[in-house]
Structure 1
């Protein structure tokens, strides 16, 4: 794909026909999402093994940059649940400083992917692999929150699945019923809140219409966070809070700092860098596609995947210098933005400003937020993140699809996302090759399909055998030429062979070598080989490789078409 230095953020298009009504709609949507963002950003950071302010300032800085520079109208960027497992593993294995370096390097890689217009390559990842690792990440997110949900006294959770299970089992004796109650109430509230304010619900019938409409606009995570934090503070529940674990959130702007950088370190961080870049690109572009499908605003334009990758890269390059974590497009906040009436990237920028104001003004109040409530929010995120119904639909798909999806899911849970995606893509390629190879067929014809009006083979008493080639003759199907070789070796001396290639859709060099073996076998028996009706791609390869000239050297008149 050609290099294109074109840099055209979607914001420039959106502002051309901007007006007061769209401004008011974007401000309302941005403020709404800005109110939703704090509990999610803090929860993602804490679950990743970082301080809560890392998630908050990532949501602010990356959210602003992704909206201002991106290629979508309504996408909201920031920390995402999909990164929890990845970031936690990197911090545990390489340390926080190296996470910052890997994130910045991933940002550079994403910018290059966008500039070289490689955004469409993300679509080549099979949907079965995406569903598999998404569900696997959801399981790991839920497992990582069991500690705070149950209030267990564990200093630090290990990074792998079986060690986490063992650690949780060994510390069940420290179960805290108050934490469990708060976490369970949070999950129940997040599930029930949207249903309580639905049209026709008992609450709708009790309260006045305008009151309910205003009430229903308050996001469920905010309601759960505020009410349960007040309950815990008022009743003095003995549970761990943000204040007891982290000492609260600094009520100040983040400090710009350069992490220790060396090329030796970068070489060690190739795998984490590629993992962050790959996952960020997949999550962001999938989120943009979802937004395109849900958008009903007449001003909405389909996303530009390459511009979105450039913006995502810039955001991930910048946030590490302020102690942030990897960022990507976030489906939950993007959908909230859409439903709140957003029409342009201005809404995402307002969301970032709103969140910054909340952090700078209300940071001291975060001291009293129970970690069990944040765990409940993440348990809900994990449940909504997973596409669990796809497991039930597996019976309708082929064994290939089942193997890819279940294999990626299990590898994500048991090992890590990098192994899962690498193995998944390898299996996808291997199964694709096998399936395409199965589609190639060699059919014996009763008589040679000679073209009308053309004497392709000289007349005479020589025996003739004919076959038709159907499908793609490539390295995965070359062995299917063997029946022709066997028939030639078993046939009478001097037998001519005709191959009708009108249904040969693709020919690669391995397939061409198989045809060359047929030519060699036919010539060794004193016969001649004719390849008829070859389409453009096979014919071009035959001519460029010299195979057509070898056929013509036999003295036949119609070669190789």
Structure 2
């Protein structure tokens, strides 16, 4: 197998202009400024330190841009990972999260090497919408603790236990924290709406999350508000480079982490390729899904060495990059360098950042990431579509993403099989032009031949429909013609059904003739030896030739029979 490794950056460097460099640098600075509060907020919501989120954005973001298959993809921690990361940390601890992240990187790397990028697109949109909305609900629920200032050591990952814990602590709302959370939320919503007004477009230069973060941090520091901050909970953010190290590993631990790692890899692949596909439509380009998965894999292997965790393509930051004029991977690489500079220079100031404001930022992200309008449109679609979407949604919220995607895919496959089996038909063909030919008639006037036409796909979900040809009520023909001109696909179970039909007809002294074979069914019938059993002379190009062959096979009736 030939491994293809061709980052999009290599395609962008020839003909790269100074003007585009200026746009990429400006866009990279904008995205870097936006990524700082998001990286910290996502990390804290995931149950890890804000520094872990920042170094994830720096290391993984740089690798995804430099080695990825998209011109404009921005990588880093995302909201979709929050419930997964939180559950892993709660169950296995932060050290094992790093191992699970590296394992997911190996899985993503393998998916890219074995060119599985296109397979991600086979996931039905109903499943994607279901788990996306479910993740949004889970993220929102996880923010209730910090949004209200509840004094809870840690929320249990299980849904009903989480509800019970929140309900039991609801009377302990910390009112200064709630006031700051509501103020931050209101400011963020108002700011984002005002930034959409054409005459206030200059507000877009300072992203909403950064604006509210600066304002809330300054207010908290100047007024000495009695709210929890990054400094009070985490001791601030270390200034300087983290030590590169490998987390301890054992075979017992490795076995337990395979399932979480697969979940991270699956979600990372889906989100990054969805983000790249959305970006393609905006810049009229086409990403390389396999190269993108390779970059995602390398990023998730490298980030844990610096204390980072799972990363993927971020749709919102990628869209902002496009709006800001970024058109090459240089913009994403600059964004990582801007984050690095901010950590090295401004880290001491991060101690004053209030967790309530970061919680408000994540709440807005959760609300915006959900495609809530799809619930209103459910009545327009089939019951199958509704069942898949709602099942995936509720299982994501109540249990976990892996089970939700598995259930959604199983339901999708079952409904598809049922639909395909409904489209497969076997119909009796009238032979009116032969009803008066004595050679084709039994003494009672019934035809000595029966012709049937197959439509659609003869596969394991529809092979039972061949039973109609053996129905005693269909008469006792001496020749059965099977017209396959409308049969587009045949699988091995369908082949077995045809072999059984041939054997049953031969036991009755009846001859089977097939005609109108298309390429795929014909190829399988010849390769399997079915045609050898049937006889080449009983394979005809069309129905007319098959009827002529039937006439040759039917012996003339005796006078007493006639």
Q: 1:122 and 2:120 equivalent?
A: yes
1:349 corresponds to: 333
Q: In 2, are the aligned partners of 1:412 and 1:419 still within 8 Å (CA)?
A: yes
1:521 corresponds to: 504
Counterpart-to-counterpart distance in 2, 1:301 and 1:19: 18
Alignment match of 2:233 (pick from 229, 232, 245): 245
Q: In 1, are the aligned partners of 2:513 and 2:539 still within 8 Å (CA)?
A: no
Q: Which runs of 5+ in 1 are unaligned?
A: 205-211, 451-457
Counterpart-to-counterpart distance in 2, 1:290 and 1:468: 44
* 1:235 CA drift (Å): 2.4
Q: In 2, are the aligned partners of 1:63 and 1:348 still within 8 Å (CA)?
A: yes
* 1:466 CA drift (Å): 1.2
* 1:360 CA drift (Å): 1.2
1:455 corresponds to: none
TM-score, normalization: structure 1? 0.92
* 1:459 CA drift (Å): 7.2
Q: 1:11 and 2:12 equivalent?
A: no
Aligned residue for 1:270, secondary structure, equals helix
* 1:444 CA drift (Å): 1.0
Aligned residue for 2:405, secondary structure, equals helix
After TM superposition, list the pairs within 5 Å mapping 1:384-463 onto structure 2. Answer: 384-447=368-431, 463=448
- The CA deviation string for residues 198-225 of structure 1, in whole angstroms up to 9 with x for no partner, is 446xxx4xxxxxxx55444111001111
- The CA deviation string for residues 465-491 of structure 1, in whole angstroms up to 9 with x for no partner, is 11111110100001111221114x762
2:452 corresponds to: 467
* 1:428 CA drift (Å): 1.0
CA 1:216–1:551: 2 relative to 1, 3 Å: closer
Aligned residue for 2:239, secondary structure, equals coil
After TM superposition, list the pairs within 5 Å mapping 1:458-497 onto structure 2. Answer: 463-487=448-472, 491-492=475-476, 495-497=478-480
Aligned residue for 1:470, secondary structure, equals strand
Aligned residue for 1:82, secondary structure, equals helix
Counterpart-to-counterpart distance in 2, 1:323 and 1:514: 58
Alignment match of 1:192 (pick from 182, 190, 193): 190
Aligned residue for 2:79, secondary structure, equals coil
2:265 corresponds to: 277
2:254 corresponds to: 266
After TM superposition, list the pairs within 5 Å mapping 1:103-252 onto structure 2. Answer: 103-199=101-197, 204=199, 212-252=200-240
Aligned residue for 2:240, secondary structure, equals coil
Bigger Rg, structure 1 or 2: 2
Counterpart-to-counterpart distance in 2, 1:197 and 1:514: 65
- The CA deviation string for residues 46-103 of structure 1, in whole angstroms up to 9 with x for no partner, is 1111011000000000011110111111111000111111111111112222111111
Q: In 1, are the aligned partners of 2:104 and 2:264 still within 8 Å (CA)?
A: yes
- The CA deviation string for residues 374-405 of structure 1, in whole angstroms up to 9 with x for no partner, is 00000000011100000011111111111111
Aligned residues: 535
* 1:230 CA drift (Å): 1.6
- The CA deviation string for residues 300-345 of structure 1, in whole angstroms up to 9 with x for no partner, is 6311111111111101011111111100000111111111110210
* 1:558 CA drift (Å): 3.6
- The CA deviation string for residues 218-259 of structure 1, in whole angstroms up to 9 with x for no partner, is 110011111122222222221111111111110111110111
1:286 corresponds to: 274
Aligned residue for 2:249, secondary structure, equals coil
* 1:41 CA drift (Å): 0.3
Counterpart-to-counterpart distance in 1, 2:450 and 2:312: 61
Q: 1:547 and 2:530 equivalent?
A: yes
Q: In 2, are the aligned partners of 1:551 and 1:559 still within 8 Å (CA)?
A: no
Counterpart-to-counterpart distance in 1, 2:116 and 2:532: 39
2:93 corresponds to: 95
Q: Which runs of 5+ in 2 are unaligned?
A: 547-562
CA 1:198–1:513: 2 relative to 1, 3 Å: closer
Aligned residue for 1:18, secondary structure, equals coil
After TM superposition, list the pairs within 5 Å mapping 1:307-322 onto structure 2. Answer: 307-322=291-306
Aligned residue for 2:471, secondary structure, equals helix
Counterpart-to-counterpart distance in 2, 1:491 and 1:524: 15
Counterpart-to-counterpart distance in 2, 1:301 and 1:436: 35
Counterpart-to-counterpart distance in 2, 1:557 and 1:181: 81
Counterpart-to-counterpart distance in 1, 2:81 and 2:34: 19
CA-based RMSD of the aligned residues comes to 1.9
2:489 corresponds to: 506
Counterpart-to-counterpart distance in 2, 1:528 and 1:125: 45
* 1:495 CA drift (Å): 2.4
Q: In 1, are the aligned partners of 2:427 and 2:452 still within 8 Å (CA)?
A: yes
Alignment match of 1:336 (pick from 320, 343, 348): 320
Aligned residue for 1:269, secondary structure, equals helix
Counterpart-to-counterpart distance in 2, 1:536 and 1:427: 31
CA 1:550–1:354: 2 relative to 1, 3 Å: same
Counterpart-to-counterpart distance in 2, 1:358 and 1:417: 34
